[in-house]
Each structure stands twice: as C-alpha cells, then as structure tokens.
Amino acid sequence: MHNLGLLPASRCSDGRLMSKSVALTQKPPQKAVASPRLTALIVASALFMEQLDGTVIATALPTMAHSFNVDPLHMNVALTSYLLSLAVFIPASGKVADRFGTRTVFRAAIALFTIGSLLCAQAPSLGFLVAARILQGIGGAMMVPVGRLVLLRSVSKAELVAAMAWLMIPATIGPIVGPPVGGFIVTYFDWRWIFYINVPIGLIGIYLVTRYIEEIRESDRVHFDFGGMVLSGVALACLMAGLELFSRGVGSVLTAGGLVAVGTISAALYWRHANGHPQPVLDLKLMQIGTFRYSVLSGALSRILVGAVPFLLPMTLQLGFGMSPAESGLITFSSAAGSLLMRIVAPTVLRRLGFRSVLVWVGLTATLLTGSIAAFRPGWPMPLIYAILLAGGFFQSLQFIAYNTIAYADVPRAQMSAATSFYTTFQQLSLTTGIAVSAASLSAAVAWRGHSQPMLIDFTTAFLTVACVALLAPLFSLSLDRRAGAELSGQK
C-alpha cells in the first residue's frame, strides 16, 4: 500500500526542514490503493452478494407464491428473468467499462444490484418482482465481469494466482450457504429479508470501491457494437431460456426446442457479423490466443459437471437416500470446505507443477472424485462420503483457479475487457448447459427404466453422463504447452 499521511519533511531553498504539516499542504493526499489481496476481497464481496442472491431465492419461492397469491410454478419466471437479463447484458460489460472506467462501472453495477434488491423486497406483485429482478440482472451482468476486470488490471501477473484464489471463495460459499440461509429467513422472518440482506453488503461495497479501487479506462475511442449486442443477446437469451425450460421441465419440449433453434440461428448470424466488425461486442478473434482458447473450451467441458452437481446431489440425497433438506445441506457443504482449504496451497501447487499438469492431472482427479458420487449408496459410511466430497471440492477448486487464471496469461492489455466479457458469457452458458444435460440424462434414465419418479439408479446414470463429458477436459488440456502461463505461476 502507499504510505498514507506519513510523508517525510521536505527542505526549503536555504536548506531548512519544513514541518510535516507544511509539506503535506504542498502535496495533494494520495488516494489509498488496495493491495492485491484487498482488491480481490473487495471484488469477492460483490460476487458473493450476487452468488448468494442467485441461490437464496430458490428456497423462498413457495412462500413468495403464497404472498403474491399465484401458482408456485409461475414463480419460476423470477429465476429465468434474472438469468436472461444476465445473458443479454454480460457481453456489453467490457465495452462499457472501457468507455466509462472500471471503477465507475463496477460501483454503478453494485448500486444497481442493490437498488434492484431493495425493489424486490418491496414488490407488491409478481410482475413488479420480475421487473426488479431484470434490474438486478443488469447490475449482476456488469458486476461479475467488470469485477474480474478490476482485479486483472490491479494486480501483476505474478500476483494473479493468489488473487484468483481469494476471488474463488464467494463462488464456492455463495451457492452452498444460499439455500440454508433462505430457509432460515423464510422460516423465522419475512421472505423480503432475503433481498434486504443485500443492501448493507452493497453499501459497504460501494464505499470500498470508491475508497480503494483506481479508475482505469481505455484512452482510445470505444465504438459500441449495438447490432452485435442485439444478435448476441437474442442468441444467449434464447439458448439459456430453452435450456432452462428443458432442464426444469417447464413448458413443452416444442417451446424449449424452438427457443434453442432461434438461439442457434442468432448465434450463427452473430458469427458472421463479428467477423466483419472492427470492435464486436464478443470478440471471436480472442479464440486465436492458445491459452485463452484452452481455458474457454476445456473449462466449458468441466463446468458442465460443476453445473450439474448442485442440481443432482441434493435430489440424490433426499430422494435416493431419504434424507431431509437440512441433512443433505450439511453433506453438500463439505465440498465447499474442501474448496476453502485449497486456497492455502493453490499458488504453491501451480508454481511447482505448472498449469498444464494441474489442468490434466488435477482436473482428472477432480472429475473422477466428483463422478464417484454416482456410486454413493445409503449403506456407505458417512465419513467416507464426507471425505470424497471434501477431496473433490479441493481438487475441483484448484482446477478452476487454473482455468480462471491462465485464460488471461497471453491476452494483451487492450483486449482484457473484451476477454472478461467473452469468458464470463461462456462460463454462464456452460453452467446452464450442465443443468440441462444432467436433467435430460435423469429424465431419459427414468423413462428408459419405466419409473414413475427418479430412483437412485437414475441419479447414478445422470452423474456418470456428465462425468464422461467432463473427462474430455483433461484430455483436451494434454495438448497445452508445458510452459504455458509460467509467468503467472512462477514455474521454474
């Protein structure tokens, strides 16, 4: 950190020392600049708010439906409206940050998300709630990639691995603690408090960003790609909406298939548009950078399994093992504990092994451990189940720190904002795909065996399916250069 308020005394022209107070009046006070760890934690606090909000609402939907006097099935729109808002606005986040500055946009995104939360808490009807969730989604769409951009522009490459390890904490804890926090609030308080809890976090975040984060913007004129934003927004919104409908069994297969088809056509039109535009909203030329390409494609395969586990594991434990929601929640929390332990050793492991070995061997270990959930049975000793989930969370978190870091190893500074938008967009899409693939596998297994409801063997089939997809990721990473990302990891 810079030295704040402890400037040395300076000398007059005749050599006499001036007092410190006089010296301070002659030099403007320097802005406090956060250390890499503090920067990571400031960004992480905003991401934690977004991650927590995304899962805490699911527990409260039945109570909210009763409050609004609507069918609980109709409450699904409160989830999908937020996801669609993310899909439409994430691609534009990098260009907006370049135009107006990372600190300004990040602070505005936190404010918008906080205001949206306050409006959600005040919602008198489902329609009002959906509109407020869309506003929240716009804030979240800017907050996540721009927050990552703030970190990338604030730390050196040598410090990036450690900073990413801190940044992974909210991504791990938020989805795990969300359901029990939501259940506690709904049981003992009013459901509106699941949104009110975002307000103090948001206000503290705005203060910390204002106090410690530097303003950085591109000096060159940024030309905004409105046509590309429309095409990419339609493509991503339709693809994610179709996958969401398909995974949750809401609506007809024809509707979900139609949305996916429209999304695919729009994506093809965007591909053509981006190849002829000088500054497309999603720059496909980034895929020519080897380390970025490996992280996007291999990471997408791995995230299909990551997206499936929160969907499949609670149902496996409740429907297959006969556990209560509270009991299953305690078991799933063990994977988060493993992820927190990883933060301590991640920089050391990457320095000794390098990115390629981590993505191949640690990725393979993480996939096999997570895929072994398919073999869980009620007769297994609980300490063994805890140990597998703990180890799986540990190795999986290390794997994704490697993905999230090496993606930016060779990206030029001028393209960093475009890279964060691109990466976050595909990250969100691959997680949604994971839910859809696991739901489709589960439905197919139930139909094939003629069961009236999912049985334990059906969950086994679904876990094995997504694990087989994720096993392609370490195989794909075998072709990565052994020295890739050495500057970031400090590999000798």
Q: Say what the pLDDT of residue 113 is.
A: 93
What does each C-alpha distance from 426 to 5, 148, 268, 449 come to in angstroms?
A: 45, 15, 16, 34
The reply to whether domains 31-220 and 285-492 share a CATH topology is yes
Amino acid at 376: F
Yes or no: say if 483 and 311 are a contact pair by the CB < 8 Å rule.
Answer: no
Mean pLDDT, 10 residues at a time, the chain of 492 residues: 39 42 41 65 80 71 78 68 80 82 89 93 88 90 84 76 73 67 75 88 89 74 76 84 69 77 90 83 87 91 85 79 71 70 78 88 92 90 89 86 87 83 84 80 85 85 92 90 77 66
The C-alpha atoms of residue 376 and residue 381 are separated, in whole angstroms, by 10
- Cα Rg, the chain, nearest whole Å: 24
The C-alpha atoms of residue 192 and residue 181 are separated, in whole angstroms, by 13
Q: Tokens for 267? A: 């994506």
For the chain, which residues make up each domain, given as ranges? 31-220, 225-280, 285-492
List Cβ neighbours of 67 (8 Å cut-off, separation of 6 or more).
191
What does each C-alpha distance from 451 to 183, 314, 457, 490 come to in angstroms?
A: 30, 19, 10, 53
Q: Give one word for 470, left, alpha or beta, with left for phi > 0 and alpha for psi -120 to 50.
A: alpha
pLDDT per position as a tens digit, 306-334: 878 877 887 788 778 887 766 776 676 66
pLDDT per position as a tens digit, 171-194: 666 666 666 677 677 777 888 888
Q: Say what the pLDDT of residue 488 is.
A: 76
What does each C-alpha distance from 48 to 124, 228, 472 come to in angstroms?
A: 27, 30, 30
Kindly state which CATH superfamily the domain 31-220 is placed in. MFS general substrate transporter like domains (1.20.1250.20)
Q: Is 469 helix (H, G, I), strand (E, B) or coil?
A: helix
What does each C-alpha distance from 408 to 36, 101, 149, 178, 360 come to in angstroms?
A: 16, 20, 10, 30, 19
| Burial category of 2 from C-beta neighbours within 10 Å (exposed 0-12, middle 13-18, buried 19 and up) | exposed
List the end-to-end C-alpha distance of the chain, in Å, as a whole number.
Answer: 28
Q: Say what the pLDDT of residue 471 is.
A: 93
Q: Is 11 helix (H, G, I), strand (E, B) or coil?
A: strand
What does each C-alpha distance from 393 to 87, 159, 162, 340, 469 come to in angstroms?
A: 27, 23, 18, 9, 18
Residue in this structure with the two tokens 């030309």, named with its chain if needed: 223
DSSP string, 234-287: HHHHHHHHHHHHHHHT-S-HHHHHHHHHHHHHHHHHHHHHHHT-SS-SS-GGGG
- How far is CA 10 from its chain centroid? 49
Q: Say what the pLDDT of residue 1 is.
A: 37
Question: Would you tell me how many other CB atoms lie within 10 Å of the CB of residue 337?
Answer: 17
Q: Say what the pLDDT of residue 12 is.
A: 44
Sign of torsion, CA 460 466 472 473? Answer: negative
Sign of torsion, CA 150 155 158 162? Answer: negative
Q: Say what the pLDDT of residue 114 is.
A: 93
Write the class of the CATH domain 285-492: mainly alpha
List Cβ neighbours of 376 (8 Å cut-off, separation of 6 or more).
316, 321, 385
The C-alpha atoms of residue 202 and residue 413 are separated, in whole angstroms, by 29
The C-alpha atoms of residue 331 and residue 381 are separated, in whole angstroms, by 13
Burial 380-398 (b: 16+ CB within 10 A, else e): eeeeebbebbbbbbbbbbb
Question: Would you tell me how many other CB atoms lie within 10 Å of the CB of residue 119?
Answer: 17
| Burial category of 333 from C-beta neighbours within 10 Å (exposed 0-12, middle 13-18, buried 19 and up) | middle
The C-alpha atoms of residue 210 and residue 74 are separated, in whole angstroms, by 40
